[in-house]
Amino acid sequence: MASFPVINMEKLHGEERGATMAMINDACENWGFFELVNHGIGREIMDTVEKLTKDHYKKCMEQRFKEMVAKTGLENVESEIKDLDWETTFFLRHLPLSNISEFHDLEDEYRKVMKEFAARLEKLAEELLDLLCENLGLEKGYLKKAFYGSKGPNFGTKVSNYPPCPKPDLIKGLRAHTDAGGIILLFQDDKVSGLQLLKDGEWVDVPPMRHSIVINLGDQLEVITNGKYKSVLHRVITQTDGTRMSIASFYNPGNDALIYPAHALIDNEEDKNQYPKFMFEDYMNLYTRLKFEAKEPRFEAFKTPA
């Protein structure tokens, strides 16, 4: 099997631009995932985000997680757990309105660096959307506009830690799912692995790589590209040793953005009704209930009878 796609973004500015764009297109078509290096977000800020995230976990999350496990008896289970994930998380919203100031247990320095990191990721997400437009033959700005709605995109960061788990074969860190939204940018632990994607029927590891950013595509990009690109199932497995940090930022359409296949990507009559048209907020309401189920029934639910 081909190896996991790693894209060196610096090469977009030189004579290897064409080959690099082709690698991005191949990754979007065949993996739904790729890993970025030399993406322009500095190592210093990533190191600070990592350090403060790990400090915060130790100070505020670890003990609480242990107490939850003790209370539920989760560490002594003997059959597979299908309704819980072995993760401890919090979610910061950046756009359309930041809620970071409401998180009182975050140190000021942590809050400040997360705001700065989010601003860099937002810019990177928009840059990537334009690279996708170019590969798809859509005009520059098409995807950003498609996500915009009346208030601009939803952008938020899920900060997770996956503590060591005594029963990795019985409990997932995060059960298999596709992401509902647009484009996802992940800063993952460079030592403790766990993220896997499903490719050709097999679970493939997303390799930890220091200072890289992992990108994956959500259900909305599958709809807008009329299935040219697909959201891909992924999961997190637990490890018996080491806590895995994962900082996943979701660049999603605005609540009232109308999502439908781009006309330029509908090749023929049959192709036309493969994907529905809906408001992003309605899709999210359905997704919340059906996240860990197949995406196809979610798309079907929004199709109007012919």
Ligand X SMILES: O=C(O)CCC(=O)C(=O)O
Q: Which residue in 35, 87, 179, 219 binds Fe ion (CB under 5 A)? A: 179
Stretch of residues binding Fe ion (CB under 5 A), selected from 72-80, 144-152, 171-179, 295-303? 171-179
Q: How far is the CB of 260 from ligand X (least distance, A)?
A: 24
Q: How far is the CB of 11 from ligand X (least distance, A)?
A: 26
CA distances in angstroms from 16 to 8, 43, 136, listed in the order given: 10, 24, 19
How far, in Å, CA of 235 to CA of 166, rounded? 18
Q: Which amino acid is at 125?
A: A
Neighbours of 37 (CB within 10 A): 15
Stretch of residues binding Fe ion (CB under 5 A), selected from 175-183, 195-203, 249-257, 296-304? 175-183
Residue ranges that bind ligand X, judged by CB under 6 A:
158, 160, 174, 179, 186, 188, 195, 234, 236, 246, 248
Q: How far is the CB of 186 from ligand X (least distance, A)?
A: 6
Exposure class string for 114-152: b at 16+ Cβ within 10 A, else e = beebbebbbebbbebbbbbbebbebeeebbbebbebeee
Q: How far is the CB of 6 from Fe ion (least distance, A)?
A: 20
Stretch of residues binding Fe ion (CB under 5 A), selected from 47-55, 62-70, 109-117, 177-185? 177-185
204 binds, among Fe ion, ligand X, none (CB under 5 to 8 A by kind): none
Q: Hey, is 109 helix, strand or coil?
A: helix
β-partners of residue 234 are 177, 197
How far, in Å, CA of 263 to CA of 254, rounded? 20
Stretch of residues binding Fe ion (CB under 5 A), selected from 52-60, 176-184, 201-209, 236-244? 176-184
Judged by CB, which is closer to Fe ion: 48, or 154?
Answer: 154
Pull the structure tokens for residue 118.
């989010």
DSSP one-letter string for 281-299: HHHHHHHHHHTTS-SHHHH
195 binds, among ligand X, Fe ion, none (CB under 5 to 8 A by kind): ligand X
Judged by CB, which is closer to ligand X: 46, or 174?
Answer: 174
132 binds, among Fe ion, ligand X, none (CB under 5 to 8 A by kind): none
- Residues in the site for Fe ion, rule: CB under 5 A? 179
